[in-house]
Structure formats: structure tokens, C-alpha cells
Amino acid sequence: MNKTAIASLVGFFFSSSIFAATDIQTDDVVVTANRFERKDTETTYASEIHTREMIDASGAASLYDYLSQQTSVNVLPSAGNRATPLIDMRGFSAESGYQNIVITVDGQRLNNIDLSSQLLGAIPLGNIDRIEITKGSGSVIYGDGATAGTIQIYTKAKTGVSVSASAGNYGALSGFLSAGIAEQYFDLSASAAHDSNDGYSKKDQTGERDDFTSNTQNVKLKLKPTDSLRFNLEATSSRIDTRYVNPLTLAQFKADPRQVGFDFFGGKTLTHQGLDTDQWRVGGEYDITSKLKISANHYHEDKLSDFITFGNRLNYDYSSNDFALSYSGESLSTIVGIQTFDGVRDSATNSTSKDNSAVFLQNEYRVDAWTFSAGARREKVKYQFAPNVGASQNDSRRLDAWDIGVNYRFNSETSLFANYNQAFQAPDVDRFFLFGGGFNGFIEPAKSKTVNLGLNHVVASNRLKLTAFYIDLGNEIYFNPFTFANTNLDQTHKYGFEAQDYWQINDQLSSAIIYTYTRALIDKERDGAGAFDGKELPGAPKHSINANLNYQPWQPVNINLSHTWRSSSYVIGDFANSLAGRQSNYHSTNLAASYQYKNLQWFAAVSNIFEHKNGLFIRSDFPIANDVAVYPSDFSRTWRIGMKADF
């Protein structure tokens, strides 16, 4: 850890938040990750909570910006694309860490059945009410892919009318409009969002830049015919158009990250993709008694991914169901449920599917200062590969997850928790194909065992959360760049430490810091012939810091200063840790300010003030074998100004 990072860490501990001075997390924070509403200091698992007030105060323009700048999650654009970014938590690597995190919106999974990452660009930040990040837990409720943890995003029905708009450099434009009413028997709200920019690179040979456009509409209806019966209906439609940056050599990146670079065909044309998604959710809850409740939800998504440059169109059809019976008593709470997911991807040459079905049971028992939790899940995963020509291939797996935990409250200020979690990741359907074509075969699912030990200490002006963890993994899934095959790392392990501190310094000044230390190591890998044994997992930084300072000189004015830093790591694909080039440190210093007058707010924000050159570094054999290529991202200073009105 270099001296600059240490100085930043120490300095921001005593003078650092994006959180408004009156909204710092020193009050009770409620979490619902295991579907029981509890104070986060009384749970048996590690959590990180971000409220609507924190989001408003951050100055972030999108969900990508907020996760990248204000949370412990390591987020990078995928080849410059912020709509489907690469996400890493607890050392599972930027390459495929997103497949080890289950992300949901109001209970609907965003994880895909192939190598596509979750579509965060279709979630307007203005619609989000709360973000819950759970680490090393969640496999009982969320199942397949929750090896690192979960990110649960909750939206809220709007009342009244709210409108906001902003503009910035590089042609950045954003707008958000929402309206809603809440009556005795129903709540109805609707929203529309726009986000776009003209791109940060120079023009390619067709005259295009790496531009981005997203338009999303949402409508939400809640019916309340009686106090004990509730129905929910929600629909969301998104249209996204984006162009990806091309990779640069390390020398090109250092000279000018705005260069276009060469595409896969040897020219200088940026990859163009259209991504359309239509989602809907319908469900209901019925309170059988004051303590016993039954719920049923159905989710559906139709999605089209059109890589216009290559003429490659992929159609996705996802359907899932969630049925649960829950009991919440004074001492005992329990939930039992059934979940199903049917996912199909159709292309011009084949149809590939991944279907999941599971039953789960989660319990929690509270007595005096103790809380005990225990849960288990049995899940069946079925695959089918049906080419237009040739024989179909089928496979299935039965997988188990379980979790036990305990929380002990020493007093009203301090509590200690521990939990032991078993989780799994069933391979995505792309893992069954060889690079360049051909059937690879059904590889093994990954299985993890995680131990968490944590401390919560909350007083009137400070909220401190500490967690230490250890993860033992078998068959961690990866792409071997030397054999061009998807396969498994036989044995790996990860360990680390996480700290969150929120400090209300005085009525005008507050600070926050989130620090993570992670080691991700390869113990044994047969396909590497011993060359990978004892090496670090590439694409997983050891250190990360998100430090924030909030100052409210007088009531209408709020100023936020934040800094994000992630340490260097071996580049993606460098499993032998042998390349001279390394993923560079990530730096971004950001400033946001707002002025509130009655129901009108004016705001301005500047990101990456000091124009640190950031990018995604990968192992590449073009144009030189065993070289490093860079996808530039977050390398320019960007600014925007805007207004928001509430009626």
C-alpha cells in the first residue's frame, strides 16, 4: 500500500462523506436481506446499506456512478460500457466477479444465463429507495451465484410530481420525471428517465464515438383491497444504444487514452450494440394472521441484445416465480419457499437454456441478547444446448446451500456477529463453448464456504462496522487464456478485512470511509501445470478506499467531496502473474454541491477532478503475444449542472 493511499486513508478518517450532515447513518438502519426486517446491528451477517438520502446527497448521476464512487464494490465499465459493468466483491475478480453476486430489483434477478453482466443501465437512480449489500451470505434466499454475496435494490412508489434535468461536457444529458398518487385502496406511480453522452474517444473510421443513450419507462401499481391483502403490478421498458471502446496498447493508452485503437478485424470501427429489455412483475401478499403471511410473485423479462457491428442478435426469455410462507413471532421467525427460474437464449444457430428450481428454509431465533439463524437450500439446475444442426446436449446438477449465524449484543451500542455460509455458482451457458466455436462440455459448478466475523459499534455520533472473512473455494470458474477453454481452478481461497465508519463530526460536518483489504490466491490448478499454484487471482485489487466529506455551511447549501482509490493488481488473464504490465491504481476525486430553495434544487458535480487515467487492463496476444491491452475508462474530467423540482 503506497504512502499516498495511506495518507488518504488516515486523512479521510478524520475529515471525510457524501452524506448530508443530518442523514448520516447514526440512527437505526433496517435490513431485509433474509426477508426478516431487523436492525443491521442485530443481524448475523455482514451488510452495507445505502439509503435514498445518501443517494441524493452523493451527486451521482447514475447507478454505476454511485456504486463505483460510494460503495465498497469494485465497479469498472465493460470495454467502456457502464450499462453492463464488471463488478467485483471480495476478490472474485473484475473478469467474472459479477457472476458471483446476485443482483435483484424488488426481488427480480438481473443475473443472466450467459457471460453478459447485469444490466444496471436500465435502473434510473431516481427510482431507487435503498441499496442493501450483503457479503459472504445470501445463498439460502438467493441461491445460484451468491458466492460473494448479494446486491438488493429496492424502488419505491412515488407520490406527487418530481422532475430533474442536467447537462454536462461530452454531450452529457439526463432527465427524470416521476408522478404518483397514494390513496386508501391503491398506489399508482410512473416515471421516465433519459441518460446519454456523445462519447469520450475520438471518432472511428465511420465517424462515430463511444456514445451512449438510455431511455427507461416504469409504471407501478399497488392495490390494497383490505388491510391484510395486497397486490403489486409493475412494468419496466428500457432501450439502450451504446458503442464500446477498442483496446489500446499500454503505450497508446499512456500517450492518449482517447485514441480509437484497432477492432477485431484490424480496422478502427467501434462495436455497436443495441440492448432492449421489457420486464414485468406481478404478485400478492396475504396476512393469514398477524404473524403468518403468504406471498407469491411472478417475474418475466424479454430482452434483445443486437451486436449490430457483427450482425449477431440474441433473444432472451426469462421467467421466474417465488412462493413463500413466513411466520414472525416474538422469538421465532421462519420462512419457507419455492423458487423457479426458466431462462432461454435464442440465436441464429442454436437455442440454449438454463433452468433452476429450488426449495429453501430460513429460521431466526431471538432470546435475550442473542440472535441465532440457520437456513438451507436445495436447488436443481438443468441445461440444454439445442443447435439447429446436430444433436442436443443436456446436463443437470443438484446443489446445496446453507448458512448458520449468531449475533450477541453486549449492550445498546456494541454487538458481535459470526456466520458460516455454503454457496454455489452453476456455470453460465457460455462456459460450455470453446473460444472461436465448438462445444467445450459441461464444466463443474463452483462451491464456496465462507466464515464471517464482525463487530458493530454505534453511538450518538459514530457508526462503526468491522468484518473479517475467509472463503474456501473449490472449482472456481475461469477462462484459461493459454488453452482458450472455460474450466475450473481446482482450489482457491480468499481472505480479508472490511471497515465502515460514519462520523457526525458536528452539525455541519460529517464523514464516511469504507476500506477493504482482500487477498485472492490460487492454491492448485491442473490446467496450469503448476504455473498458477500459489499465484494471486488476476483482476482482484488488495486495497480499496471510498472516503467522503460532507459540509453544510448553512441549511440550503450542501457540499460533498469524495475520493475512490483501488490498488493495482495483476491484469485480467494473467494467472501466472508473469506479465510486466499491471492493472494501474484507480483514482477518482469527485465534488458535488447543491442549493435548495423551497421545492427547487440546483446542483453541480465534477468527477475525476485531477483527470487520473483509469482503464481496464487485460492480457492480450494482439499485436504482441503475452502483452497488455487497455480499455480506457474514467480518464477525463467530467462535469454537469442541473436542477430538480418537487411538487
Kindly state the cell numbers that stand for 622. 494482439
What DSSP designation does 536 have?
B
pLDDT tens sequence across 468-492: 999 999 999 998 887 778 889 999 9
Kindly give the pairing relationship between strand 557-566 and strand 543-551: antiparallel
Task: Say whether pLDDT at 225 is over 50.
Answer: yes
Residues 546, 566: contact at Cβ < 8 Å? no
Residue 91 sits at the vertex; the CA angle it makes with 88 and 93, to the nearest 5 degrees, is 55
Handedness of CA 366, 371, 372, 376 (dihedral sign): positive
Q: How confident is the model at residue 1 (pLDDT cuts 50, 70, 90)?
A: very low
DSSP letters, 285-342, are: EEESSSSEEEEEEEEEEEEEEEETTTTEEEEEEEEEEEEEEEEE-SSEEEEEEEEEEE
Handedness of CA 123, 124, 130, 134 (dihedral sign): positive
* pLDDT in the model for residue 435: 66
HEC string for 44-70: CCEEEEEEHHHHHHHCCCCHHHHHHHH
Q: How confident is the model at residue 37 (pLDDT cuts 50, 70, 90)?
A: confident
pLDDT tens sequence across 325-342: 999 999 999 999 999 999
What DSSP designation does 72 have?
S
If you average pLDDT over residues 619-639, what whole number do you get? Answer: 87
pLDDT tens sequence across 408-422: 999 999 999 999 999
Q: How confident is the model at residue 436 (pLDDT cuts 50, 70, 90)?
A: low
* pLDDT in the model for residue 547: 95
pLDDT tens sequence across 368-401: 999 999 999 999 999 999 989 888 889 999 999 9
Q: Which residues pair with 370 in a beta bridge?
A: 367, 408
Q: How confident is the model at residue 201 (pLDDT cuts 50, 70, 90)?
A: very high
Report how far residue 513's alpha carbon sits from residue 409's, in angstroms, rounded to the nearest whole number.
Answer: 24
Q: Which residues pair with 385 in a beta bridge?
A: 352, 393
* pLDDT in the model for residue 4: 42
HEC string for 566-618: ECCEECECCCCCCCCCEECCEEEEEEEEEEEECCEEEEEEEECCCCCCCEEEE
Closest CA to 440 of 493, 383, 495: 383
Residues 229, 296: contact at Cβ < 8 Å? no
* pLDDT in the model for residue 74: 94
Average pLDDT, the chain: 91
Element at 26 (helix H, strand E): none
Closest CA to 163 of 147, 180, 151: 180
DSSP letters, 478-496, are: EEETTTTEEEEEEEEEEEE
- Output b/e per residue, 346-380; b: 16+ Cβ within 10 A: eeeebebbbbbbbebebbbebeeeebebbbbbebe
Task: Say whether pLDDT at 324 is over 80.
Answer: yes
Kindly state the cell numbers that stand for 346. 435464442
- Choose between 49 and 10: higher pLDDT: 49
If you average pLDDT over residues 148-165, what whole number do you get? Answer: 93
Portion of the chain with pLDDT greater than 90, in percent: 81
Q: How confident is the model at residue 307 (pLDDT cuts 50, 70, 90)?
A: very high
If you average pLDDT over residues 532-536, what whole number do you get? Answer: 95
DSSP letters, 128-161, are: EEEEEEEES--HHHH-TTTTSEEEEEEE----EE
Residues 54, 592: contact at Cβ < 8 Å? no
If you average pLDDT over residues 73-100, what whole number do you get? Answer: 92
The values of phi and psi at residue 106, to 5°, are: 50, 40
From residue 179, give the alpha-carbon distance in Å to each of 101, 512, 601.
32, 33, 18
Contacts of 345 (CB under 8 A, 6+ apart): 113, 114, 314, 315, 316, 351, 352, 353, 429
Task: Say whether pLDDT at 21 is over 60.
Answer: no
Report how far residue 545's alpha carbon sits from residue 12's, in angstroms, rounded to the nearest whole number.
Answer: 10
* pLDDT in the model for residue 7: 40
Task: Say whether pLDDT at 25 is over 90.
Answer: no
Kindly state the cell numbers that stand for 65. 456512478
Report how far residue 488's alpha carbon sits from residue 511's, in angstroms, rounded to the nearest whole number.
Answer: 42
Query: In this structure, how many other beta carbons lie within 10 angstroms of the beta carbon of residue 154?
Result: 16
Kindly state the cell numbers that stand for 1. 500500500
* pLDDT in the model for residue 339: 98
* pLDDT in the model for residue 24: 46
If you average pLDDT over residues 65-70, what whole number do you get? Answer: 92
Kindly state the cell numbers that stand for 291. 404473524
- Choose between 1 and 455: higher pLDDT: 455
Task: Say whether pLDDT at 11 is over 70.
Answer: no
CA atoms within a 13 Å half-sphere pointing along the CA-CB vector of 185: 2
pLDDT tens sequence across 238-271: 999 999 999 999 999 999 999 999 887 778 999 9
Residues 569, 585: contact at Cβ < 8 Å? no
If you average pLDDT over residues 133-157, what whole number do you get? Answer: 94
Report how far residue 434's alpha carbon sits from residue 528's, in angstroms, rounded to the nearest whole number.
Answer: 17
Burial of 34 (0-12, 13-18, 19+ CB in 10 A): buried
If you average pLDDT over residues 186-201, what whole number do you get? Answer: 95
Kindly state the cell numbers that stand for 280. 414485468
Least confident of 14-23, 59-68, 518-527: 14-23
Q: How confident is the model at residue 58 (pLDDT cuts 50, 70, 90)?
A: confident
* pLDDT in the model for residue 109: 95
From residue 545, give the alpha-carbon distance in Å to each of 133, 195, 387.
16, 28, 47
The arrangement of secondary structure in 3-445+469-646, i.e. its CATH architecture, is: Beta Barrel (2.40)
Element at 238 (helix H, strand E): strand 229-243
DSSP letters, 202-222, are: PP-TTS--S-EEEEEEEEEEE
Beta strands across the sheet bearing 627-632: 248-249, 627-632, 615-620
Report how far residue 32's alpha carbon sits from residue 141's, in angstroms, rounded to the nearest whole number.
Answer: 11
What DSSP designation does 433 have?
B
Report how far residue 173's alpha carbon sits from residue 199's, in angstroms, rounded to the nearest whole number.
Answer: 12
If you average pLDDT over residues 580-608, what whole number do you get? Answer: 94
Does residue 632 have a cis peptide bond before it, meaning omega lies within 30 degrees of 0?
A: no
